[in-house]
Amino acid sequence: MSPVSLPIELQQPETELTIAIVEDQMAIAELLRDVLEDAGYRPHIVSSPFAALDEIREIKADIVLLDIMMPGRNGWEVLDDLRAESETRELPVILTSAVYDRIGRRPLPFGGPIRFASKPFEIGELINTIDGFRDRALS
C-alpha cells in the first residue's frame, strides 16, 4: 500500500491497462507507481528516457506518463520517437511538467491523443485523465 491513500471513489478493480512512467525523479516515479497500483492499474517505471521507446514497446504500454523536463534527453524527444514508430504512434500520452505554460509553444507531433498534467499533481485529476483514455486503450 502506498503512503498516499486514494479516496474510495478513485479505487477500482485491477485492469489490464499498463501505464509507462517516464520520469527522471525517482521519488515522483515511485509515488506515481504506488498511486496507480492502488487505482488498479499496472504501472511500469521506465529506467531512462534513452530506453523509453524500447521499454514502452516491450511492456506493451497502453498509456505513457511522460515528463517533459529530463536531463540528457527531454520528453519532447521521447514523444517524437513514439510518434515516429507505427507501433507507438497512436499511444495516448500524458505530458507532465512543472513548467506548464510552455506546453502550447511547441507544435505537437501527429499521432495519438495527448493530455497535460501539471506538477505538483492533483491525483484525482490525473486518475480522471487516465480513466478518460481507458476505453480507447482497452479497445
Query: 128 is in which domain, residue-wise?
Result: 12-138
Residue 22 lies in a domain: yes
Burial of 26 (0-12, 13-18, 19+ CB in 10 A): exposed
Residue 3 lies in a domain: no
Report d(CA 56, CA 62) in Å as an integer.
Answer: 9
Residue 4: per-residue pLDDT? 53
Q: If DSSP states are collapsed to H, E and C, what string results for 96-123?
A: EECCHHHHHHCCCCCCCCEEEEECCCCH
Residue 48: per-residue pLDDT? 94
pLDDT in tens, 81-118: 999 999 999 999 999 988 755 555 667 777 888 898 88
Residue 124 lies in a domain: yes
Residue 7 lies in a domain: no
* Full-model pTM: 0.83
What grid cell was written down for 19? Answer: 501505464
CATH of the domain at 131: 3.40.50.2300
Count structural domains, the chain.
1
- Percent of the chain scoring above 90 in pLDDT: 58
Residues of the chain under the 50 pLDDT cut: 1-2, 10
Residue 135: per-residue pLDDT? 63
Residue 73 lies in a domain: yes
Give the sheet arrangement for strand 93-97, strand by strand: 42-45, 18-22, 63-67, 93-97, 114-118
